[in-house]
Amino acid sequence: MASLRVRRLLGPGRRWLSETVPGAPSPPASPLYPPVVASITAKSKAAKSRRLQRFNQRVHAAATVEEKLRLYGKLQRPKYTVYPQTFALNADRWYRSFTRTVLVPGMPPRAATAKPPVAAAGATPEAGRAPEPGVKAPAAAEAPGTAEAPGAAKTPGPAAGATPQIDIGELRSLVCDALLQESFYQNKKRPFLYRDQDHTPGPFLTQLVSTLAASLSGRNPLLAASSLDLNPEVNYYWHHGTEVVVHGHRKGRVDPVRFQIDDNPHLQIRVPKQLPEVVPLESDLGDVPVIDHKPSKLPLFKKQYENKVFIGSKVADPCCYGHTQFHLLPDKLKRERFIRERLEDQIEVVYRSNGIASLFAWTAAQAMYQGFWSEADVTRPFVSQAVVTDGKYFAFFCYQLNTLALTAETIKNNTRKNICWGTDSKPLYDVVEDGNVKGFNDEVLLQLVHFLLNRPKEL
């Protein structure tokens, strides 16, 4: 009875415990209400992250690479223009921090089998030089390198007989011919003011590369299928780090720092197959410099224009991987000018900054052409080479791109770094006098030949 009164007090509409059926709850066929997530249009951090996620999904879901590139560079905002050939002091340190690159002096220790044997006159210096004058190359890799190189140099020669030895004398004569033709035999007027580089070293470099590539294409089938570009354009656009907007109607908002490289190498060789990786993807060969200051202190200036990503040819071109770039330093960055202003240590900085910036832009643009971007990081390393010269002095660079994820969110868990191997600048010859090239340096020519003969293992 007490329970009856309790039930009447509770009222007729109330459901009591005995009326509910204890058992498995019936699963709803579909949720009655949409999921509770942050708004898209609100002025809040959650809304901003939702908008970013929607943008990332749109780029991931893009059907073609052209569509991905179009969406990636759609929003135009003021960005820093990074010039690979710059007179800014210590620019290579800043560029390494922008692109997360480790600089390793010397050339990477290549496999001895990748080097074809050289003619007898140059055999011993070649075998001794096989691990390259790489100071930082680990001693363990050097010792097997030196032991392997003489063995490999001797065995494939007589055993296979298919790879004839490189005639260094013939190549030297080709180079000297091009040099003398441009600087001695051809009757040229005096160069216009500040146009010295276009007068002699420019045509000499073009002639040199085209003749060397043509003569070595019989040995390297990749060169035979390559495409040589004259004065191409290479562009890349990326985000790195964050800053707070200082002036304007967007004042106070946290924005990514945007960079753009627009580069015009003197010559470029593009190939249909990718160069092999030098070291594994996750290797750590050094430290990336960390610079706390804003990039405008370098000095670097902001401009707003098209966000372009370009390797030298459009996406549909079969030669979509890069092999070697050749850069000519302008008159503004001559050696004599640095020596006159007592800035001798900045001479090498110019070569290094040019190599790092140009190669980063090229390899990253190649990776974007394959569909990778900062949210979809590369799964295989992209390797390219470059030669930076001012007509007489040559510096060689080899770049391995291991990561594209440089934005503020993606760099948090990113342990990979890009690696650049680079040499100091060495003269190819001492002086050209009376139809003779004095003091020709065979090492530089050999390094150039090795660069051109670099190819994947299968070929």
By beta-carbon proximity to other proteins, the closer residue of 346 and 407 is 346
Query: Which DSSP helix (H) or strand (E) runs through 279?
Result: none
By beta-carbon proximity to other proteins, the closer residue of 88 and 245 is 88
Separation CA 301–CA 73 (nearest Å): 19
Nearest to 226 by CA among 235, 234, 217: 217
By beta-carbon proximity to other proteins, the closer residue of 176 and 288 is 288
Residues that bind other proteins (CB under 8 A): 88-89, 291-294, 297, 299, 341-343, 346
Shortest Å, Cβ 420 to other proteins: 23
By beta-carbon proximity to other proteins, the closer residue of 343 and 376 is 343
By beta-carbon proximity to other proteins, the closer residue of 58 and 297 is 297
Shortest Å, Cβ 298 to other proteins: 8
Q: DSSP string of 135-164?
A: SSS-HHHHHHHHHHHHHHHHTHHHHH--SP
**Range 416-419, long-range pairs (CB < 8 A, 24+ positions):** 416/281, 416/282, 416/377, 417/100, 417/101, 417/102, 417/284, 417/285, 417/286, 417/288, 418/99, 418/100, 418/101, 418/102, 418/360, 418/363, 419/101, 419/102, 419/104, 419/278, 419/279, 419/283, 419/285, 419/286
Shortest Å, Cβ 94 to other proteins: 9
Shortest Å, Cβ 342 to other proteins: 7
Separation CA 294–CA 98 (nearest Å): 11
By beta-carbon proximity to other proteins, the closer residue of 291 and 453 is 291
Burial level of 2, CB count in 10 A (0-12/13-18/19+)?
A: exposed
Shortest Å, Cβ 299 to other proteins: 6
Shortest Å, Cβ 340 to other proteins: 13
By beta-carbon proximity to other proteins, the closer residue of 346 and 400 is 346
Shortest Å, Cβ 293 to other proteins: 5
Nearest to 394 by CA among 356, 426, 437, 353: 426
Beta pairing partners, 383: 400
